[in-house]
Structure 1
Amino acid sequence: MFINLFDSHLHSDNSFDGTHSITFMCEKAVEKNISGICFTDHCELLDFELDHYEMRITQSCFEANKAKVVFKGRLAVMAGVEMSDVLHDEALTDYMINKFDFDMVMASQHYDSDGTDYYDIDFSKITLEEAYRMLTDYYTYLIRVAKWNKFDTMGHLTYPLRYMVGDNKLPVDMKRYDDMFDEILKTVAENGKAIEINTSGLFGSLGDTLPSIKYVKRFRELGGEYVTIGSDAHRAEHLGRGIETGMQMLLDAGFNYFTFYKARQPIQFRII
């Protein structure tokens, strides 16, 4: 049993796939004895105008900042964002980052190179070699994102595996990508940025965190200092799921602290 539970990856109803309001999720966090949360509603740059992301993020930040005041002394509330396809239009990405006073900017990638979310791909009709092509494209892009270096934490670094391996049981050999992973992790570590342990995979068909402990250990070996932990909850009842598992993973990987961001600065909390 750990104390000081912080969940750095949450989606409210300001995300297209979220369910509950920020206020309701804060109330549930207090009920669950969680110490701090960060709302990271989606901002998908590829579909920015189509899905009205500027309006969504404006509302998300307004509600999160209001909740900071309402729940002061009971819950630390942060206003973040999860940005995907950050290199699609770098001027637009810069505009969004600079417009809002985010506590944390998470860079994630949800789309294949053809603009399709891995969630929407029927991997039962995809050959193993095609899956390897997709993963090569995915990690090539994440290398570029790591070098871009305008984020605070990189989210769910093995996102495609949720659908390739978890849902469709493709026998993917991830050792093929060890060198690419090393380049990502080394770049993030050298730049003083964080990676995320995303615990949502523990409760689905994958049965593992995103990424697995192998890569968290490797991040440590390459000099990584900062790791955030997030449930990726899209419903209030899922808030905080797996956070304690993530904390134990950090201990097993050689970390004594986890990271929580405020005003885009890393705060280190000892794992106790």
Structure 2
Amino acid sequence: MLDYHVHSAYSDDSDYPMEAVVQDAIRRGIRELCFTDHVDYGVKRDWDDPRGIEYRRGDIGEPVQVANANVDYPRYVSELRTLQQKYRSEITLRLGLEFGMQVHTIPAYERLFTRYPFDFIIMSLHQIDDQEFWTQDYQRRKSQQEYNEGFYRETLRVIRRYKNYSVIGHLDSIVRYDLQGIYPFEKRKLLLSEILKTVIRDGKGIEVNTSSHRYGLPDLTPSRDILHLYRSLGGELLTIGSDSHKPAHLGAYLRETLEELWEMGYRRVYSFERMRPLPHEIAALLGR
């Protein structure tokens, strides 16, 4: 089994020690795991930023730290290398990050990408114009059409300009933060088609993120409609990940999601080494 979206205590929203993640993964039969801790330029500063810590108010008034919250890259890479050696006979560990990208932060990610030999990069959209989705800052004072289309337009603008990524993460994650319900697929289809065509043309992929189950969403992430559209356009490069931040999340719903992908007609999911995709047969992962 593979888990290609995993967070540890190096992410600002997790306190799950990296070695504990590895030990739990081995116990749960996960044979390959990629750490993808958060980097969100624009709303967070790097671990060594000399300007100090800032706070702002979240949507319900609590203070939210916005400085010194990105990954401590030297320690992150060093610890992962140590664990790769220590557990090399039990599990394959890969070096990744989750880039929470916006168009205006692309130069910062271009610089970061050149600093380390990454295996895998998730390109995710967590905010636009430095306005977060989870706080409703971006959606506020916009119609449902405006913030949904804005989300997909920003995704398209990013991937037209930035190519050092492996997959787009949780492609329709705006659904999770949409207080007005699910914006109809047909109204998003044209933009989604352009995104997916760009992904396929560039030799990139999309992830299937199993956190939809724990958030109680009525669909997969991305939705079944998006997964069918991707396949109809010729897309096949998929990764699968739990988006775990704590022990209860790790490896959750991987098998059930692979079963669904098989029923949709997908036959492979992928892992990555030094940014190169490596295929794994779904039937073999399911023990068929």
Q: TM-score, normalised by structure 1?
A: 0.90
2:12, 2:69 within 8 Å by CA — same for their partners in 1?
Answer: no
Q: Which of 165, 178, 181 pairs up with 2:189? A: 178
* Separation of aligned partners in 2, 1:258 and 1:191: 18
Q: Which residue of 2 aligns with 1:31?
A: 27
* Separation of aligned partners in 1, 2:113 and 2:147: 28
- Residue type of the alignment partner of 1:43: V
Q: Which residue of 2 aligns with 1:109?
A: 125
Residues 55 and 180 of structure 1: CA distance in aligned 2, closer, same or farther (over 3 Å): closer
After superposition, what is the alpha-carbon deviation per residue over 1:13-54, rounded to whole angstroms, capped at 9, x for unaligned?
000001211100000001101111100000001123453366
Q: Which of 126, 138, 147 pairs up with 2:151? A: 138
Structure with higher Rg: it is 2
1:260, 1:267 within 8 Å by CA — same for their partners in 2?
Answer: yes
2:144, 2:180 within 8 Å by CA — same for their partners in 1?
Answer: no
> Alignment identity in percent?
25
After superposition, what is the alpha-carbon deviation per residue over 1:194-237, rounded to whole angstroms, capped at 9, x for unaligned?
10001101111314321012211211111112100010000122
* Separation of aligned partners in 1, 2:41 and 2:99: 7
After superposition, what is the alpha-carbon deviation per residue over 1:90-144, rounded to whole angstroms, capped at 9, x for unaligned?
3211110110111101100011x34222111189x968x6222111111001112
Residues 219 and 55 of structure 1: CA distance in aligned 2, closer, same or farther (over 3 Å): closer
Give how far 1:169 is off. 5.2
After TM superposition, the structure 1 stretch with the greater mean CA deviation from structure 2, 50-59 or 85-94, is 50-59
* Separation of aligned partners in 2, 1:216 and 1:87: 25
Residues 54 and 204 of structure 1: CA distance in aligned 2, closer, same or farther (over 3 Å): closer
Q: Which structure would you say has the larger RCO, counting Cα contacts within 8 Å and 6 or more residues apart?
A: 1
Q: Which of 52, 60, 69 pairs up with 2:85? A: 69
After TM superposition, the structure 1 stretch with the greater mean CA deviation from structure 2, 51-60 or 204-213, is 51-60
2:160, 2:198 within 8 Å by CA — same for their partners in 1?
Answer: yes
* Separation of aligned partners in 2, 1:69 and 1:187: 37
Across the aligned residues of Structure 1 and Structure 2, the Cα RMSD in angstroms comes to 2.0
Q: Which residue of 2 aligns with 1:82?
A: 98
1:87, 1:93 within 8 Å by CA — same for their partners in 2?
Answer: no
Q: Which residues in structure 2 correspond to 1:216-231 (within 5 Å)?
A: 216-231=227-242
1:45, 1:85 within 8 Å by CA — same for their partners in 2?
Answer: yes
Q: TM-score, normalised by structure 2?
A: 0.85
- Residue type of the alignment partner of 1:134: Y
Query: Is the counterpart of residue 118 in structure 1 residue 133 in structure 2?
Result: yes
Unaligned runs of 5+ in 2: 47-65, 284-288
* Separation of aligned partners in 2, 1:237 and 1:223: 35
